């Protein structure tokens, strides 16, 4: 959750968990503690997802920052990363790009 604590929901409660910039907040400093906070938040999101559910994280960080430094191994873990480079927040084309494949 927002504070990095346990969400007040049982395991497998949701088919979709949506996070908007929560990872950005958790990773605001380049430190091991920040990476642990992000990992805990993601772990909690996965806990409340049903099997086969989707976790959608919106981040303002660059694709490279997320994949190489902040959360290495995302691709190997089965993550799908879509990056709307150069698109304004709320741009319908950017939103459509990000949503592609979520249905």
Among 83, 77, 13, which Cα is nearest to 45's? 13
Sequence spans of domains, the chain: 14-99
Among 26, 43, 44, which Cα is nearest to 35's? 26
CA of residue 66 relative to chain centroid, distance: 10
pLDDT in tens, 41-83: 888 888 999 998 888 877 777 666 665 555 555 555 566 656 5
Look over the chain and give the mean of its residue pLDDT values, rounded to a whole number.
71
What does the pLDDT read at residue 2?
Answer: 44
User: CA 87, CA 78: separation in Å to the nearest integer?
Assistant: 25
What does the pLDDT read at residue 48?
Answer: 94
pLDDT in tens, 1-43: 345 588 899 999 999 888 887 777 777 777 778 778 777 888 8
């Amino acid at each position: 959750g927002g504070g990095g604590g346990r969400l007040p929901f049982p395991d497998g409660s949701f088919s979709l968990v949506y996070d908007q910039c929560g990872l950005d907040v958790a990773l605001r400093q380049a430190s091991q503690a920040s990476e642990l906070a992000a990992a805990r938040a993601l772990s909690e999101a996965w806990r409340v997802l049903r099997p086969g559910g989707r976790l959608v994280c919106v981040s303002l960080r660059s694709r490279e920052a997320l994949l190489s430094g902040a959360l290495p191994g995302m691709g190997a873990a089965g993550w799908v990363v879509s990056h709307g480079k150069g698109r304004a927040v709320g741009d319908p084309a950017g939103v459509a790009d990000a949503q592609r494949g979520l249905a």
